[in-house]
Amino acid sequence: MTELPRVVVAAPGSGAGKTTVTMALIAALRAAGERVQPFKVGPDYIDPSHLAAAAGRPAFNLDTFFLAAAQVRGLFAHAMRGATVGVVEGVMGMFDGRSGAGEAGSTADAAAALGAPVVLVVDAAGMAGSIAAVARGFADFDPRVRVGGVIANRVGSERHAELLGEALEAAGLPLLGWLPNDPAVALPGRHLGLVLAGEAAPAPEALARAAQQIDAGAVLRLARGAGPLPAPAPVFPGRQPGRIRLAWAEDAAFRFTYPETRELLERLGAEILPFSPLADTALPAADALYIGGGYPELHAEALAANRPMLEAIRGFRGPVLAECGGYMYLAEALETEGRRYPMAGLAPGVARMADRPVLGYRDVVALAASPVAEAGWRLRGHEFHYARLEPGSRPAWRQADGTAVEGFTDGRVLASFIHLYLLARPRAAERFIAAGERARAAAG
């Protein structure tokens, strides 16, 4: 059993301001001298970028659909090295998971796995005494989860905050802080959610003011009262000596990757060689290629204009793993806003932007051998995209319930809209490394 102070930030539903409040809480704790390790429940890439910027440490994803409870604890403990308190931002509403209340993937399930108290974020605009009914209902709903207090968001004035505190006190829950109804603190959004850190953020002075309204001492007492962390399970293998060189797409168009995936591949012997499909004209000397998700639709013209890089991608002979935005980049073309842009052409078909998203967890079975799976292997991941691309005659996956096929593979290239969570199936990562080793040996 390990003493690791920790707290989970949850909300009744999406749009309550969890990310902004979590950033302000991180700022308040850092101002109090704490080393804060951020986490995000669920498969999100965008919110963690903001949490990492606020904390100055990479944010890890904690997801009970991908990992068993003991593995979630193991990943938490691994990331907490050198930190004094862990702050976990929840996903959607506290009890919203894969399906139904408290199901796998929910914030409540992650809080229960960690034995962590919850700070409930409530959008208090337009309410006063009603905040007590909302908070009390969430506190009493699931006996596995302990709600330790409330942070109110979008508060109109100090007097409004006093009324909220009085109502909560009568309900037996403390008001741990409040954020004003201030547009300068809010994070702007786009079609996949919030914009990424580095593109926009709350004004620093506005965030600092918001942090001053949070009782960091009270939150710390709550986090330190979490008790010993139940027994964690190891999640990463021991480090292996260098086995392959892995070209890793990383720029404004391709930024959606899990830090867990990168660390897993590095531990299995991959030397990560970052490159930019937007700016570079050649690939690094590598044995394997990874192109993660991102926003290629926002950079389609520049990607298409970089013909030397497209030729380098077409001429690459090692194993290729491309996910979501990477799949769109490997397609024959990308259509967006009425224009068609040529892409790398390693995967058949044209990626077209649509009005409605495809999103959700995916439990998939490999239809053919690929760089990460033998036919019949079962892996897990998630989708969140607006593009459409017909899988053609060589799909990579079918969903485990048999409802759909997806992606493309020719054995060397795997391109799919599914973001695989490789830490849940390390043998898939090992297979990718081994494929790179074979390519390295074949190249002499």
Question: Which range has the worst mean pLDDT, 22-31, 81-90, 103-112, 325-334?
Answer: 103-112
Once rounded to an integer, what is the mean pLDDT over residues 313-337? 97
Catalytic residues: 324
Predicted confidence (pLDDT) per residue in 359-380, tens digit: 889 999 999 999 999 999 999 9
3-class DSSP assignment, residue 189: strand
pLDDT for the residue numbered 27: 95
Entry pTM: 0.92
CA angle 279, 299, 61 (to 5 degrees): 90
Are residues 322 and 413 in contact, defined by beta-carbon separation less than 8 angstroms? yes
Asked if residue 175 has pLDDT above 90, the reply is yes
Are residues 361 and 382 in contact, defined by beta-carbon separation less than 8 angstroms? yes
Q: How far is CA 221 from the centre of its chain?
A: 28
Asked if residue 187 has pLDDT above 90, the reply is no
Question: Which range has the worst mean pLDDT, 4-13, 200-209, 264-273, 387-396?
Answer: 200-209
pLDDT for the residue numbered 444: 80
Predicted confidence (pLDDT) per residue in 234-293, tens digit: 999 999 999 999 999 999 999 999 999 999 999 999 999 999 999 999 999 999 999 999
Question: Which one is predicted more confidently, 197 or 335?
Answer: 335
Asked if residue 52 has pLDDT above 90, the reply is yes
Average pLDDT over the chain, rounded to whole?
93
Q: How far apart are CA 282 and CA 247, in angstroms?
A: 11
The token pair that represents 95 in the structure block? 């009890």
Q: How far apart are CA 272 and CA 265, in angstroms?
A: 9
Question: Which range has the worst mean pLDDT, 37-51, 88-102, 345-359?
Answer: 88-102
Q: How far apart are CA 223 and CA 209, in angstroms?
A: 23
Instruction: State what percent of residues in the chain have pLDDT above 90.
Output: 86
pLDDT for the residue numbered 3: 83
